[in-house]
Amino acid sequence: MKKLWATIGICFLLVAMPAMTAMPKKLVPNARVIKPVLSDVKKTISTLDDPPEWANGNFTGVWGLNILGIPLPPAGWITGYYQNIGLGNFAGVFAEFNETNATGALVGFMLWVFFIGGVGSITTGNGTYVVGIGVANETHYYVRLHGIIGPSYYIHVEYTKFE
């Protein structure tokens, strides 16, 4: 019985250690950079025209590169719809700040702090699967996304529930 518990404990540590190192330590890691950009995005970018039937709210925010756990300044905007923060669908479009039309799409499913989905280019049709881990409070959601290949990204969005 002791060997069984020791084996379960070791397996738990092997799974929990990478998950805990990937978990963001703060909701807004670089508030000096992200907050002013987020307010500008809300003024200039409108949400998508028709919400899906499953949508309970919309979100607007920023995305950028995340190098070795350190988020760089935001590189673009993201906007879309969510079903429930913490459990439900998530669908949005994004682009760099100098673009007014969306160039990419992010769709997936949120389960507690985990995000599982796909990201792709609207213009070329290329895409890949992504997984992420994040945190949320009553108004904001921050997640670090990791694809099969390429760098890690983050998204930081402010969401609003439909009335």
Say what the pTM is.
0.68
Question: Domain limits of the chain?
Answer: 25-161
- Residue 19 in this model has a pLDDT that exceeds 60: no
| Residue predicted with more confidence, 118 or 35 | 118
Give the domain 25-161 fold: Lipocalin (2.40.128)
| Residue predicted with more confidence, 19 or 116 | 116
Is the dihedral angle over the CA atoms 113, 41, 31, 130 positive or is it negative?
A: positive
Instruction: Give me 154's structure tokens.
Output: 């983050």
The predicted model gives 110-117 an average pLDDT of 85
- Residue 62: its pLDDT value, please? 93
Report the percent of the chain where pLDDT is more than 70.
Answer: 75
Q: What is the DSSP string of 5-30?
A: HHHHHHHHHHHHHHHHHHS-SSSSTT
**pLDDT single digits (tens) 38-86:** 444 443 334 456 777 888 888 899 999 988 878 888 999 998 888 876 7
**pLDDT single digits (tens) 133-155:** 888 888 888 889 988 777 889 99
CA-CA distance, 61 to 95, in Å (whole number)? 11
- Residue 45: its pLDDT value, please? 38
CB 154 within 8 A of CB 132: no
| Residue predicted with more confidence, 33 or 148 | 148
The predicted model gives 3-16 an average pLDDT of 73
